[in-house]
Amino acid sequence: MSRRYDSKTTTFSQEGRLYQVEYALEAINNANLTVGLLCDSGVILAADKPISTKLLDTGKINEKLYKLDSHMFCAVAGLTADATVLINMCKLYAQRHRYTYGEAQNVEEHVVQICDLKQSYTQFGGLRPFGVSFLFAGWDRNLGFQLYHTDPSGNYSGWKATAIGHNSQQAQSLLRQEWKEGLTVDEALHLAVKVLTKSMDSTVPKADKLEVGILWKGTSGTMDPMVEMISESKVADILANVAAQSTTKGSEAPHTL
């Protein structure tokens, strides 16, 4: 029925839709779940890693989280090779800004730059959209901690907490129930892991199946927030905590970082 319109990014359907962009979104709905949320003094991104076997060398590359600059990192969902290309562009944009102006790039400015690139792939002939969505976590002097979502169309939006990928709707509804303003870092980490484990298809995952990162000032209190990857043992602690709570729902005693 919609056959005539759906094979090019340069063709609107009769209802004003761009089917190629919508099909690219399908690639993202099949990707692993990723959660992002703001807390009182940081931004957290947590992701479910792709199925790993004993032989995959997971120690060397972060599968889902990428550091872009000292004040920004991101999580990706979709076609990995497309993501690698865009992440290279992100790093380039951030470094070029630092080099030209001598200071870190504003987070939204950065997001707009990468979204304009994405948009151009939906309007010119002989191209396909990037099959990638991002969650950008960043901090700048103007707007503090920020969390953005971008999709293959080049749209972006600011969030307090959101999720992308497989079962993201279930995760978003959990976040709507449990996220509130002013969460401490520990509470937020606990919530991120909880949402991931409850929304994944598998039963309780192991710590090496999750990847968690945070942008904060840390315990030592640095000048500006820094990106920090949470260690596997720490993730295991949180997982245990989440598991404990889900049995004894009353007590909510988050562990200390």
65-84: which residues touch a second copy (CB under 8 A)?
79-82, 84
What are 210's strand-pairing partners?
48
Instruction: Assess 178 for contact with a second copy (CB under 8 A).
Output: no
Instruction: Assess 25 for contact with a second copy (CB under 8 A).
Output: yes
Which of these segments, 114-122, 206-214, 217-225, 229-237, binds a second copy (CB under 8 A)?
A: 114-122
Which of these segments, 139-147, 182-190, 225-233, 234-242, binds a second copy (CB under 8 A)?
A: 139-147
The torsion region of residue 16 among left (phi > 0), alpha (psi -120 to 50) and beta comes to: left
Rounded CA-CA distance 115/109 in Å is 10
Positions 31 through 60 that interact with a second copy (CB under 8 A): 38, 53-60
Give the residue with the Cβ less far from a second copy, 127 or 257: 127
Structure tokens at 257: 């970082």
Query: Which one of residues 95, 157, 222, 231 is an interface residue with a second copy (CB under 8 A)?
Result: 157
Instruction: Assess 100 for contact with a second copy (CB under 8 A).
Output: no
Query: Which one of residues 124, 141, 224, 231 is an interface residue with a second copy (CB under 8 A)?
Result: 124
Burial (CB count within 10 angstroms: exposed 0-12, middle 13-18, buried 19+), residue 53: exposed
C-beta of 35: minimal distance to a second copy in Å? 12
Query: Which one of residues 49, 91, 98, 128 is an interface residue with a second copy (CB under 8 A)?
Result: 128
Which of these segments, 112-120, 187-195, 210-218, 226-234, binds a second copy (CB under 8 A)?
A: 112-120
Which of these segments, 8-16, 188-196, 207-215, 240-248, binds a second copy (CB under 8 A)?
A: 8-16
Cα–Cα separations (whole angstroms), residue 104 to 163, 165, 197:
26, 29, 35
SS3 57: coil
CA 91, chain centre distance (Å): 16
SS3 246: helix
Instruction: Assess 4 for contact with a second copy (CB under 8 A).
Output: yes
Residue corresponding to tokens 């710590």: 207
Which helix (H) or strand (E) covers residue 117, if one does? helix 107-120
